[in-house]
Chain A
Amino acid sequence: MLHALMQTGFPLLGLLTPPSGAEYAALIPGAIAALVAMLVVLVDTFHRPGTRRDYLAYISAVGMGVVVLSCWALWDSTIDRPVFHGMLYLDKFGLFFAALAAAAGGLALLQVPAYMNFQRMDRGEFYMLVLFSVSGAIFMANAADLLTVFIALELMSIPVYCLAGYMRRDGRGAEAAMKYFVLGAFSAGLMLYGMALIYGVTGTTNLEYIGINLSRVIETGAVETGFGMIVLGVLLVLSGFAFKIAAVPFHIWTPDVYTGSPSPGVGFMSTVVKAGAFAAMLRVLFVAFEDPMLRGGFYGTGWVDVLFFMSAASMVLGNTVAIMQDNIKRMLAYSSIAHAGYILLGIVAAGARPEYFLFNDAVLFYLASYTFGTVGAFGVLSYLGRKGTTVETYEDIAGLGLKYPFAGLMMGVFMFSSAGIPPTAGFVGKLYIFRAAVDVGVQTGEFAFIGLSVLAVLTSVAGAYYYLRVLVCMYMKEPTRDDWVEASESKSARLSLGICAALTLALGILPATMLELSREGVVDFQGVPASVREVQREGGEQLKQIRDAAERSREPAPKGEVPQG
């Protein structure tokens, strides 16, 4: 059939060489996640009613482990060009995010069976939705084309809309789902209009060629011609991403959705969705919109400046509103907005000049540390859930630290990490982000940027207040209710929490391996323009030089950049 088609005079087919065997490797992580999702539902049809579904959690966790292993196996066999006719990349950057998304998905799913059993909503579909979403996040991180970005974004989001409304007996879940869905679809519409304008100006949807063509348009055309369409397109695409990462002007949905959704699902949607959106955002910004004119940088009015203000607003608003919350899930929602602000700070630092590109390794590391801390924190909340009720407010957890020492200990680790207190991953992540920001601020001599770094340090100190308040409640208050039955004490949830805590501590005490991985991920970031590729070829060496130069010139900088809780 194909042979006959190829002969029929229509010439396009002959032009496209079919993808070579090596290119199929780009599909492996995402395809495994999707296959595990289908396997889970298939197994679930043979489920005996009345028994728990722990085995589904284990199957999915093992599947996610296989995804991580496949990323590890593919780590050194990356391809230095887009595969499948410019649709996907196979590079270390994408593999890093694929492994991260799979790990977070697997860990979140291990917390599910006990929680759902208590809520009488133990269904196999939950696992499938989460796994589909993981697969979407993986493809999003590997996308090399606006079309792939969009489809993968929807593949990631649509199951999450359903997760938000998963607690069918709870009216809040329904509202959360509706809010999330309506705003999500609206922002997808805005983003699509931006993509249409970009396509109109450049005539292609491939990220690399968008970059080339945009530069060409900006060079040849006077500013007053095609530029309006480009700026509008860039802004609209950015707003779509900002919605998914919950940065400030687009954050309204976050607290409501987090409160209305089941806890393990929130742990998932606040990490994997964010990681996938950040990965695609980095791709689009640094590959397609890399032109200095679009980049701007400190009031040259480009995306760096837009992100600059988003970052500042997210940090301030997230941290201050989180202090006022009584509900821990709402508090964590606002704190996730603040975390998005810190990550945006790293992106602003790395995007300020093309040669600072390698500072993005701080962003990757921060995302990893944030992921394990957050999945763990929501895991503790779901671990403490009892029959028919959930643990959500500060009152609910009062005194539980002593009653359930394991949960209390774990919560301590995760809260320390979120607050950025030394022996944990959060500290190292914040340190690297702030250090990159200060380096860039000193090198460029921009006062505004140093100011932003100082603001970040101050807000993270303020953030320590509400994180530690959780621990104070857990250990120093009397329990409010004694009539509750035992906490779920589920083995799989314990396993998940243990792994999260171990990773959080490991990244805090021995960050070298993860730093090396994230640096390799940034060095092997395909599709960035030639000017950056020159820097990349030198790899870590170049980064070290930049950092050394920053060290030398840092003398006048304020010394207070180390975050202390």
Chain B
Amino acid sequence: MGFWEPLFFWIFAIGAVTSSAMVVLWRNPLYSALFLILDFFFFAGLYVLLSAHFMAVTQILVYTGAIMVLFLFIIMLLNLKDDELGEFEFRLHHAVAAVSVIALFAIIVSALLPTQRSEQLLGQVENGRAQAQEALRGEETAFSSKRTRLEGIEDKSRRVDELAKLEATRPRLRVATPAGVKPEGASELTSKECATVRSVDGVPGLFQDMNEEGLDTCYQARVRRWVSKDPSKRMDPAQGKYRRFDPSKPVVIPPRISGEGLTTERGTIRAGKPAGFGTVQPLSVLLINRFVVPFELTALLLLGAIVGAVIIAKRRL
């Protein structure tokens, strides 16, 4: 996990909670709005830590850049005097609200408790990782001694041949997770360690812990499984994606593009690197494919909101 990620997480988390509290507690809405902007920046930082890069950018552009500016504009336009804000006076319902909100928080957290990482499993992972590294060291010693032996061979062509064969068996660090802990598609992971600790008890497919590399590898593996030509290897239907929606039609898979590209009548298309988790490409692809209906509905919603805002706020029609 490293040093920086926990550090930034705690900076952002403490910042987010503090500035949220400030939004609620500050009497003047202007300061509340400024703290809310700060809060949104902390949230954007958390999104980056969660590999949601595009959402982090959108958070700043849309929330901080558009919505909060609107808020500030309205606050300035109304230009509330200090005496119009009302004195703060403690009332009974403040205490009642505080107690009930604390109760709500307790209920939510008790519901979330099973998602806690189990330290025992983490210990197993660490243990397995240490064992794997020890095994790797032993293998590497054997490998280098074998290599010195082979380098002594006189016949040049045979030596090159043998060395190439040996090179193919160069030892690598294997996945260091206990059995049953592997995420979906983890069988395809080899050297890259996937620091994924098993799914939450009773909630299949929800991991308790995951690092950036593991996330990306899992995502690529999952995307490959979605397009697998073999229907039995395709994704678990109960995961709710892509199965039922047109079972009668065969899935059309575009030809894979190899290194030199694919020549069509419109020109040569070169393969790009498959997009990573949380980037613009998969999001936009989803947006114009599976989620095209909500997308269009949002367009209607925005139009309705524009007309509604005009009819309410315009001074003279």
Q: Which residues of A contact B (CB under 8 A)?
A: 3-17, 20, 27, 34, 37-38, 41, 81-82, 84-88, 123, 125-126, 128-129, 132-133, 135-136, 139, 145, 147-148, 151-152, 154-155, 158-159, 161-162, 165-166, 168, 177, 197, 200-206, 208-210, 212-213, 216-217, 220-222, 224-229, 231-232
Contact = CB atoms under 8 A, between A and B. Distances in A.
A213 B111 CA distance: 18
Contact of A7 (B239, B255, B311): B255
Interface string B231-269: 000000011111011100101111111000010101001
Contacts, number: 212
Given A12-B289, A125-B311, A232 B282 contact: no
Contacts of B224: 11
Given A158-B308, A166-B311, A216-B238, A9 B282 contact: no
Contacts of B297: 136, 139, 148, 151-152, 155
Contacts of A155: 297, 300-301, 304
B123 interface: no
Nearest 9 CB-CB pairings of A with B: A221-B202, A209-B240, A204-B240, A162-B308, A228-B111, A225-B202, A226-B203, A132-B304, A9-B271
B230 to A, nearest CB: 14
A304 B185 CA distance: 40
B76 interface: no
B7 interface: no
Interface in B201-245: 201-206, 223-224, 226-227, 238-242, 244-245
A81 B244 contact: yes
B223 to A, nearest CB: 6
B272 interface: yes
Contact of B114 (A15, A206, A224): A224
A162 B305 CA distance: 8
Interface size class of B (residues with CB under 8 A): 35 or more
B204 A220 contact: yes
A483 to B, nearest CB: 30
B262 A201 contact: no
16 contacts: A8-B272, A10-B275, A12-B227, A15-B226, A15-B242, A15-B253, A16-B289, A20-B246, A125-B311, A152-B297, A161-B308, A208-B240, A208-B244, A222-B201, A225-B200, A229-B111
Nearest to B247: A81
A226 B200 contact: yes
Contact of A151 (B244, B292, B298): B298
Nearest to B262: A7
Label chain A's interface by main secondary structure.
helix
Contact of B204 (A7, A41, A154, A216): A216
A226 B202 contact: yes
B290 interface: yes
B203 to A, nearest CB: 4
Contacts of A126: 311
Contacts of A221: 201-203
B304 A158 contact: yes
A159 B304 contact: yes
A213 B242 CA distance: 15
A34 B304 CA distance: 10
B300 A217 contact: no
Contacts of B238: 209, 212-213, 216
Contact of A225 (B201, B300, B305): B201
Contacts of B245: 16-17, 81-82, 85-86
A203 B239 contact: yes
Interface string B45-82: 00000000000000000000000000000000000000
A13 B223 contact: no
Contacts of B262: 7
B112 A129 contact: no
B92 interface: no
B297 to A, nearest CB: 5
Contact of B108 (A123, A125, A151, A232): A232
B303 interface: yes
Contact of A177 (B246, B253, B281, B312): B312
B270 to A, nearest CB: 8
A166 B108 CA distance: 39
A7 B254 contact: yes
A10 B111 contact: no
Interface centre among B205, B251, B297, B311 (most CB of A within 10 A): B297
Nearest to B298: A151
Contacts of B272: 8-10
Given A158-B308, A220-B204, A148 B293 contact: yes
Contacts of B113: 228
Contacts of B204: 216-217, 220
Contacts of A205: 240
Contacts of B85: none
Contacts of A133: 304
B59 to A, nearest CB: 16
A222 B202 contact: yes
B294 interface: yes
Which of B115, B206, B294, B307 has the largest count of A CB atoms less than 10 A from its CB? B294
A17 B252 contact: yes
B269 A228 contact: no
B274 A9 contact: yes
A222 B271 CA distance: 46
Nearest to B205: A203
A386 B27 CA distance: 45
Q: Which of A16, A152, A168, A220 has the most CB of B within 10 A?
A: A16
A220 to B, nearest CB: 6
B291 to A, nearest CB: 7
A17 B300 contact: no
B1 interface: no
B108 A217 contact: no
A12 B251 CA distance: 11
A82 B242 CA distance: 11
A209 B244 CA distance: 10
